[in-house]
Amino acid sequence: MQSRTTTTVLLGVAQTLAWASSYYLPAILADAIARDVGSSSSAVFGAFSVALLMSAAIGPFAGRLIDRRGGRPVLIASNVVFAAGLAALSQAQQPLHVFAAWAVMGLAMGSGLYEAAFATAVRLHGQQARRTITGITLFAGFASTVGWPLTAWLESTMGWRGACLVWAGLHLGLALPLNAMLPAAERAAPASGDAGGKPEQQAALPPAKQRGAAVLLAFVFAVAWFTSTAMAAHLPKLLLGVGASLAAAVGIAALVGPAQVAGRLIEFAFLSKAHPLLSARLATLGHPLGALCIGLFGSSAAMAFAVLHGLGNGILTIAIGTLPLLFFGAKGYGQRQGFLMVPARIVQAGAPFLFGLAVERLGVGALWVSAGLGLAACLALARLAPSTAR
């Protein structure tokens, strides 16, 4: 059996490339793509929303394949589809082509991003996959740090079409070989929903309580992705609204990424022995506490808000992988994880638009909407008893 450290490194590097070439691509290339195809940047982001919806649709099926055959073939296939989507995008001549290319990218995102990587780790290491999941997020936490500058440099030197082709080549030449180095998992029978089986597969909740827990977790994950995506799209504008200068707003917003990595390091170093539910509850409070600081102290607390939001969001990314493993066990993890993330992907697709409406109508007061959602997520987690820990 491959060591957990090796699995973490292989999946972590491959995930960094996958996130950098998909989720973080429109922020750099949207304007250039829109100019060339005779569209608007908002339309390009609309195509990206289509990709997120496609990923929601394909996620449960990809998860079921990982449960049955292991993650290696699914992740390898996702690299091929990523490359095809990026190559198609590089040849786009009109808006319809952009939407079609991003639809293909959505198939790869639903079978090749975090949920698939987490399911692969669980398929290989069972209940011992928590630290592997944390390690994967530590690597991929640098996706924007690596991806944005590299994409910008590629765009400036060879144009956005060339940048897409380079990313496609990296999927085939780097990410695919990394995923191919993962061990082949033994074939498994479809999940039966039974909490029994091997100890490394057993669930902490009995079957009678699993449906209610699944609804609560799906809500928490949807809140996490909605808030994360909304802040990624609107945080600089919100900071301008509380009185920060443009330079300060951009600089403070840039702290979110390092804060996310710091949150994952804290979870890895200090909270790895604690119950995952405790980490998740603390994480859901990060954004509301930051909003409270803004409400009390205005622009002087802008940096505190960015850091608290980033810390919470970083830890919640780990919770998305570890809480389903704890409560439902390793058996059938991939398919279950895919279904749990469907609401999250759907609200994520609409988050920039919906939260943008709130910002237009409420200004900085829109933070009370996102803070309220964070508190609701914390209350949802409070319904799950910590006594289920092993």
For residues 286 and 308, is the Cβ–Cβ distance under 8 A? yes
Confidence of residue 24 (pLDDT cuts 50, 70, 90): confident
Q: Which residue has the higher pLDDT, 222 or 326?
A: 222
Q: Calculate mean pLDDT across residues 205-234.
A: 87
Q: Calculate mean pLDDT across residues 195-216.
A: 68
Res 316 pLDDT > 70:
yes
Averaged pLDDT of the chain: 88
Res 281 pLDDT > 80:
yes
Q: Which residue has the higher pLDDT, 91 or 23?
A: 91
d(CA 255, CA 388): 35
Res 192 pLDDT > 80:
no
Q: How high is the pLDDT of residue 242?
A: 85
Q: Copy the structure tokens of residue 66.
A: 């990982």
Q: How high is the pLDDT of residue 389?
A: 43
Confidence of residue 194 (pLDDT cuts 50, 70, 90): very low
110-139 pLDDT per residue, tens: 999 999 999 999 998 888 888 899 899 989
d(CA 141, CA 161): 26
Q: Which residue has the higher pLDDT, 162 or 298?
A: 162
For residues 93 and 303, is the Cβ–Cβ distance under 8 A? no
Res 63 pLDDT > 90:
yes
Res 387 pLDDT > 70:
no
What percent of the chain lies above the pLDDT cut of 70? 92
Q: Calculate mean pLDDT across residues 180-203.
A: 58
Q: Which residue has the tokens 């090749």?
A: 112
52, 154, 169: which is closest to 99 by C-alpha?
52
Q: Copy the structure tokens of residue 283.
A: 């994480």
Res 182 pLDDT > 70:
yes
What percent of the chain lies above the pLDDT cut of 90? 52
136-158 pLDDT per residue, tens: 998 988 887 788 889 999 999 99
Res 108 pLDDT > 80:
yes
Q: How high is the pLDDT of residue 203?
A: 57
Q: How high is the pLDDT of residue 165?
A: 97
Q: Copy the structure tokens of residue 35.
A: 């100019």
Q: How high is the pLDDT of residue 204?
A: 60
d(CA 290, CA 66): 38
Q: Calculate mean pLDDT across residues 149-175.
A: 95
